[in-house]
Structure 1
């Protein structure tokens, strides 16, 4: 079974334009990793479209062949650099990993 890694962020930006720019930057930073890291099967970043006061602002969904590949991805230098670059955009983060 493969693993789906799901991350939900609340963004620092609270206005529509700021959230849109933050999501665009997250996409620009993380989506190219699919072509660069063998462990990463797929990755997408999608903005929330409703209930902004209670829902998260953006979601990441990524897929890995197994838990070892996810763990390798999480500590890979390219991922670490990307996360450190993006951290200022995030007010909070929650994640879940599921078998699919």
Structure 2
């Protein structure tokens, strides 16, 4: 199992924008075969150094993860996120 954790800090950190961005990320659920599980959590302890959203995605293999990256649904979501993103950090590991 490949697990990818992505931390997102948004330019506009308002609750409304965070909620909208979470919804956009969750819209991938059930639309990408290679995406086994998807969780999108909102930080409940905001601060200057904190990230706003944590995405946890699971795939059966690295090949599935690579297929997900170029899937049209993910590409469209990525375009939205790129426009609202200030910074991000990722950790991808095998479990």
| Contact map agreement 2:37 2:59 (CA 8 A) in 1 | yes
User: Alpha carbon RMSD of aligned pairs, Å?
Assistant: 1.4
Matches within 5 A, 1:1-100: 2-14=1-13, 18=14, 20-100=15-95
Asked if the contact 1:8–1:95 (Cα under 8 Å) also holds between the matched residues in 2, the reply is yes
**Within 1, Cα distance between the matches of 2:64 and 2:17?**
27
Q: Secondary structure at the match of 1:24?
A: helix
Considering fraction of residues, name the structure with more helix: 1
SS at match of 1:36: coil
How far the C-alpha of 1:49 sits from its partner, in A, is 1.6
